[in-house]
Amino acid sequence: MAKFSTAKLPEEPTEHAPDGSEVRALLSLAGGSMAHFRLAAGAASKAVCHRSVDELWFVLAGQGEMWRRQGEREEVIELEPGLCLSVPAGMHFQFRARGSGALAAVAVTMPPWPGADEAVFVTGPW
């Protein structure tokens, strides 16, 4: 049985995601991990797809856009606080912050993030 844990959001990034966003790692269990992501105002991430993990995102602050492509389905959605979205394994995606503030989201990765080779760079719109 896993022991329960408590964590506070780190003030500084604990690492940078392969897509270029700041990552503040939170907690992890056998089934998934949680992290806070931040992208500076006006910045765009690198376009990637994940080999084996699914993610659920919840936008906390800022404004932006996310491009997602899965097979023949492709869309660009507006990111704003309160929006929740899925990023299934194998889906191509890229996001960018628009406006004067940073874009911030919390994401749950299932299973836990396995390491840097998980993300594969793809061609995106930005």
The pLDDT tens digits of the residues spanning 27-51 come to: 999 999 999 999 999 999 999 999 9
Q: Is residue 44 part of a domain?
A: yes
In a domain, 40, yes or no: yes
Domain span at residue 78 reads 15-121
- pLDDT, the chain, mean: 96
The predicted pLDDT at position 120 comes to: 97
Q: Note whether residue 7 is domain-resident.
A: no
Judge whether 4 lies within some domain: no
Q: What is the pLDDT of residue 81?
A: 98
The structure's pTM equals 0.93
- Residue 5 belongs to some domain of the structure: no
With a cut of 90, say whether residue 69 has pLDDT above it: yes
**For the chain, percent of residues with pLDDT exceeding 90:** 95
Q: Provide the pLDDT for residue 2.
A: 83
Contact partners, residue 89, CB within 8 Å, separation at least 6: 49, 50, 51, 52, 53, 54
| CATH number, position 92 | 2.60.120.10
Instruction: Tell me the pLDDT band of 75, cut-offs 50, 70 and 90.
Output: very high
- Count how many domains the chain has: 1
Q: Let me know if residue 10 belongs to a domain.
A: no
Determine, yes or no, domain membership for 105. yes
Model confidence at 116, in pLDDT bands (50, 70, 90)?
Answer: confident
Residue 8 predicted with pLDDT over 90: yes
Task: Identify whether 1 is part of a domain.
Answer: no
Assign 3-class secondary structure to 67-120: EEEECCEEEEEEECCCCEEEECCCCEEEEEEECCCCEEEEEEEECCCCCHHHEE
